[in-house]
Amino acid sequence: MPEERDRVFYRFFYTDYQRLEERGVGDKMDGLDLQQKADEKKKPTEFQIPQKFLDFYMELENWMKKRQLRAKFCTLLVEADPNRESFLTNQQIYACFQKLGMKLSKKQVAQATYSLHQDQQGRFSYPELIELTCGRD
């Protein structure tokens, strides 16, 4: 059994192993090149929202746009956040949809909040929901 001082500590082992599994040995990756690791850290990882969710957001936007309720929806979300923390629970977001007259199920509201950032309390970022359902304007 090797002594502790004989062991090599390689902190990137699991991420490099996963990369080799995904891309194969021909990926030209040098696990000991720390500059390569530093360059990889600079690249932001971006979450891609699945298309079925983007389609769902588009349906919500079209429903609100057709009835001219986008501004009212934004107002309802902001009013549901009295402390102006920019996060709401699924139940609060569900209530906003109900007040708007959009009879979504709780499962559909969960689908609407699926791709939103969450805080430590499990609440969802409603400014992101506004952007996804009402656009940036």
Does CATH place domain 51-134 in 1.10.1040.10? no
Band of pLDDT at residue 38, cut at 50, 70 and 90:
low
- pTM of the model as a whole: 0.65
Query: CA 13, 117, 88: angle at the middle one, nearest 5?
Result: 150
Q: Which two tokens mark 32?
A: 């000991």
- The pLDDT > 90 percentage for the chain reads 52
Checking if the pLDDT of 7 tops 60, the result is no
For the chain, domain boundaries: 4-42, 51-134
Give the span between the Cα atoms of 111 and 2, in whole angstroms. Answer: 51
- Residue pLDDT, tens place only, 61-98: 999 999 999 999 999 999 999 999 999 999 999 999 99
